[in-house]
Homo-oligomer: A and B are copies of this chain.
């Protein structure tokens, strides 16, 4: 046996698959190969056959112990969760429409090349599809890059659009923080060449409106500018090739202490302690427009062209935010860096502030519930001639918002007791108290359905009357339309209110109108 390794894990996987599938090993002149942990083994035919059988047995073993579940980091949504989601998504979409946005949709996967070199360090989190003999594909990582691709492909120079859809990231899932590998994003973006900071201010206004409408508690929107970040790194003496790593490091401030962030900068990334400390002096500052003005006077930063432009724009932005009446919720925060490669100007991130009274929610953590920024170069990356379309946008972290609302509904004893989450909207149950009335129930319910009334019946030939009433109570159906021998003879339907237990006979031809009347009253 001659050992030929070590190779990468990928190469081994494919070789193992190949060996399993082929009836014989890949061979030349009677040589056989098979895989053992960490190496390719040149083997005899018998050795190969044994190795193959062993692999097959292991595969079978895996299969029999197969546990039924959703993929790691993903989950199903129950009718209760869907009902909550529907309300939240409707509020978010309504706000986007309020600002004149149009909806679009894009495929969930893109050509792999479209996603390459857009996300910096986070590219490794992209899900790729298997090469099944066609194009190389990958699941979208966000809705921003597909939007930029859409604009470039259709040569659109100006557009205000929203997009609600799922995105996928191979992150370590943290269910307690409401972080999943599959999650929903709600994006709003403004593309086009406009006067500075007007669309940018509108994006912040939208975040403010949505977080206010959803009543999630107090929040803060951190704002910075990518040019200020880069300028700051430059004047502190960070080498160009380390910007990306330092960016990611800076983003951790808040989750980690400055001491630990500094450790990372001087350790793994290899900054000198002096450079790290200069960065530290900047990024530990946050404030309002006065901090912007102070930094405009900063002897080092004001000498950097990029930083100066960023600071001037931030000053204008604060003026517009004051006109929109939302400046008090905005914090200029030099530690906000946003690691994605495509940002070029203003960046922002909204966080919920933990209110001290809601201690039951502490376990959920806070963190970002909305984020975004300006990306003026992304569309140009897709255009064959590099023509740029400036863009600014935002993404609502609805998944975290869902978690918060769901947890409140579970925790909040008042809400729980008084208001069960309604998952169906059925208005009336077609029922009978007698045997052999299936056919009559069917005729009646078809009349109701045809009139657009939300109706159900039990799928039993002869259900007990009590079972039918219980079903109404369980599922919150308010009315029962009862048919029996007497009703049939009299040409009426008995209409019963589940809550009051009152029953009245309604003429068959008036039943639709009567149900509609009762529903419009309630």
Known: A10-B17, A76-B105, A460-B195. A449 touches B134 (CB 8 A): no
Cα–Cα, bound, A323→B10 (Å)? 60
Given that A102-B79, A129-B129, A205-B446 are contacting pairs, would A69 and B455 also be in contact in the complex, using a CB cutoff of 8 Å? no
Given contacts A28-B4, A324-B442, contact A182 B104 (CB under 8 A): no
**Which candidate, A149-157, A276-284, A348-356, is the interface stretch facing chain B?**
A149-157
Indicate which residue in B132, B166, B325, B459 contacts A127 across the interface (CB closer than 8 Å): B132
Taking residues whose C-beta sits less than 8 angstroms from the other chain, chain A's interface range is 35 or more
Residues in chain B near residue A77, CB distance under 8 A:
104-106
In the bound complex, residues from chain B placing their C-beta under 8 Å from that of A217 are none
**Copies of the polypeptide in the assembly:** 2
Q: Report the Cα distance A78→B76, complex, angstroms.
A: 29
Task: Kindly state the separation between the CA atoms of A199 and B442 in the bound complex, as whole angstroms.
Answer: 11
Q: A153 with B69: in contact, given A10-B18, A101-B424 (CB under 8 Å)?
A: yes
A168: which B residues are within 8 A, CB to CB? 108
**Is A489 in contact with chain B by the CB < 8 A criterion?**
no
Query: Is A312 positioned at the interface, with any CB of B under 8 Å from its CB?
Result: no
A30 within 8 A of B: no
20 contacts between A and B (CB under 8 A): A2-B28, A5-B26, A8-B21, A69-B111, A70-B106, A70-B111, A79-B102, A79-B104, A82-B104, A98-B449, A98-B452, A102-B424, A130-B131, A190-B459, A192-B459, A195-B461, A198-B442, A201-B442, A209-B450, A324-B446
Residues of A whose CB lies within 8 Å of any CB of B are 2-11, 13-15, 17-18, 21-22, 26, 28, 31, 63, 66, 68-72, 74-79, 82-83, 86, 97-111, 113-114, 127-135, 137, 139, 149-150, 152-154, 161, 166, 168, 170, 182, 190, 192, 194-195, 198-199, 201-202, 205, 209, 320, 323-325, 382, 384, 423-426, 438-439, 442-443, 446, 449-450, 452-456, 459-461, 475
